[in-house]
Structure 1
Amino acid sequence: MVVALALAPMAETWLDQRMARLVGDIEPLAPEVAPWQGPEHLEDPAWSPRWAEPDAMTQVAYPGGPQTVELHLYHYRHNQPGTDLIRYDNRIFDGNSWRRVSQGGATARLPEGGQRPVRETVLRGREGQNRVVWHWYQVAGHTTVRPIEVKMLEAWARLSGQPEGSMLVALSAEFQVSADEARAVLAEFLKQAPPRVHVGETEAYAVHE
């Protein structure tokens, strides 16, 4: 036991160095999703998650479909012992600009016929705009809505040398009358989108204002 405790700092340093080599300079890549156009970089989004210190952040819009859809990807690498993906003060919205109408669970259908649990938040802005947000977590290619599972997957990914890291995936759309309008758009978007977000070298996106 004494030997194991003595070697623990050396093992942690080795693990940090190995993960730093594996991760490199990567970030989440927003996919193309027909019939929507884009992805186009969001210069100044009206809504965005309030998540702590991501290593990389991709915020894009998909105009031209039934309705514009926004995708926010907050990426955390595994080259440190812990990440800020799961923190008590992370918020899916800025309380100064938005208020929460409702929050709960939902289920989205995937292209291959499977289902994905998501966390749903219905928001109302200070100027009367309405938005539905679906979010979940992706760790080393696995998706979940459970924070405890995120921690377990992060520990496994770090020990096994998985270089993809972990991320918050947040999808949103506005609605005029009923939240079901936005839910239908988000559900259709996920049917057409890849089931997982890929991570790779930096890509450039057109600007959407």
Structure 2
Amino acid sequence: MKIILATQNQGKIKELQELLADETIDVLSLQDIEEWEDVEENGVTFADNAALKARAAVKKTGLIALADDSGLEVDALNNAPGVYSARFAGEPKDDERNNDKLLQELESIPDGSRTARFRCALVVVTPEGEEFLTEGSVEGQILRQRRGQKGFGYDPLFYVPEYARTMAELTLTEKNKLSHRAQAFRKVIPILQALKGHIIT
């Protein structure tokens, strides 16, 4: 069975493939689609943006499509960068510049007030127009310097007290136990199982 994950982010693709390793589901991505045009993510919530991408992927491929939108919410910044997480430092998207800007914005914030969370909304859209939403979140703190070489995005600055490490210091297996995206992806597995009759093989 084939589904399309509407992303070109290799990290997200690997995470979903790892979670679906025991399922008979073949995960394609936008890297497998010719002439894909990026969708303008102009929604006001993570769920809005995820739905926009999933609907476009269904229209393009005829496959059941999954799309997520996720980002970082920092309490001291009134939940910014939020839906603008990927472009926090402007265009073009750049993880290093985003992290630099985050550190700059939080420079005067004391350690005890640097609480934050990763939040994810995952939308499944079928060719028949059915839509399903799952969500996940993980709480943490923003460090004052990067730690770790794994992961992507804000992972090197996001400290997880439960593991006493940053997201970028966790193995993929550990990250898949707790991450916001992993939570949303795990919740979607029974939805995909129920939709197996729709999936084009």
Q: Verify same fold: TM over 0.5.
A: no
- If asked which structure has higher relative contact order (CA below 8 Å, sep 6+), I would say 1
Q: Which TM-score tier does this pair reach, normalised by the shorter chain?
A: 0.3 to 0.5
Structure (1/2) with the larger strand percentage: 1
> Could you tell me the TM-score, scaled by structure 2's length?
0.36
> Could you tell me the TM-score, scaled by structure 1's length?
0.35
Structure (1/2) with the larger helix percentage: 2
